[in-house]
Homo-oligomer: A and B are copies of this chain.
Amino acid sequence: VTEYRLRCFAQSGNAYKPALALALAGADWEPVFVDYFNGETHTPEFRELNPMGEVPVLEAGELRLSQSGVILDYLSQRFPDFGPRSEEERREILRWTLWDNHKLTSYIATLRFQMKFLPEERRQPEVIEFLTKRSDAALHVLDRHLFSNEWIAADHLTTADLSCVGYLYYDHEFPHDFATFPNIDRWRRAITGLPGWKHPYDLMPGHPIPPGALS
């Protein structure tokens, strides 16, 4: 039996956040595929695992954890390399994890869903424009921050980096041009270079989506 089981699917950047932590830590873990595009997160079985109906869920022994930020917090206790080394770093990690949830992931994940996963007739151009502007503003905040900081919340990689980078390897699926965010690009490539790194489509099961699942 593996030590950690992560309910996930390849297209979920929120699942990628802890999956990448486990991969970079060299943990004894396995991904467990959730068939999101065929409605698995709406089944009673899945709702018992997580009443919020969201991926990821981490299983570690008797423990069941949901919300990527909670799982990252837990993994940083198990793998202290990704965690804070002071109370100030702990707060900075929390600050950027909350910011990611509020200002970056909430808009960029929803934008990608509208552009890439909704059937064409259900896409809303005004909503796409709105979410594009919001994501763009968040990416500018992050790019400015990474101009003067190598990593997001400390002088080493922390779970705040893993949270913020969650959706940023799906970049060809957004309208943004990452060449205009040179500091994000440098930071993203630094993470790519770490031992154990894999693209979300290689790290988690379910890519590509079977034809017909999105209709």
Contacts and interface: CB of A to CB of B under 8 A. Distances in A.
Nearest to A74: B91
A141 B52 contact: yes
A67 B52 contact: no
Size category, A interface: 20 to 34
A85 interface: no
A4 to B, nearest CB: 16
Given A124-B130, A126-B126, A127-B126, A70 B51 contact: no
**Total copies of this chain within the assembly:** 2
A106 interface: yes
Contacts of A144: 51
Contact of A70 (B98, B126, B130): B98
Contact of A73 (B67, B69, B94): B94
Nearest to A148: B51
Contacts of A126: 124-127
Contact of A101 (B70, B73, B101, B141): B101
Interface of A: 51-52, 65-70, 73-74, 91, 94-95, 97-99, 101-103, 105-107, 124-127, 130, 141, 144-145
Q: Considering the complex of A and B, which 10 residue pairs feature the smallest CB-CB distances, nearest first? A: A126-B126, A101-B102, A69-B98, A106-B106, A101-B101, A127-B130, A67-B95, A70-B95, A124-B126, A67-B98
